[in-house]
Amino acid sequence: MKPRAKHKATPKRTAARVKRRVRPAVKRPVARHVEDAIDALMTASARALGLTIAPLWHKSVRFNLQLVLHHAARVEAFSLHDDAEPAPVFHA
């Protein structure tokens, strides 16, 4: 338990600070080989699952697949023992 850090920010001051420092949303370039791999995964998965991806949806599905794989990578990097039990239905 740590003592709460004191800060002197007021909403107005913080808002002003935030305004000065805004960085626009930058779409980070995805390496070509990663894009190719995601496209290959999409094509193979869609075929295996019996899903159709219309050309118009392709970009959006790929964006969402990249996003979910980004989150999955963070979980994958978390170290767990072999005896870790899943909690498919959680009882608090």
Return residues touching other proteins (CB under 8 A): 1-5, 9-12, 14-15, 18-19, 21-25, 41-42, 45-46, 49-54, 57, 60-61, 63-65, 67-72, 74-76, 78, 80, 84-92
Judged by CB, which is closer to other proteins: 31, or 89?
89
Nearest-approach distance from CB 71 to other proteins, in angstroms: 4
- Say if residues 39 and 62 touch (Cβ distance below 8 Å): yes
Rg of the chain, C-alpha, whole Å: 21
Q: How many CA atoms lie within 13 A of 52 on its CB side?
A: 3
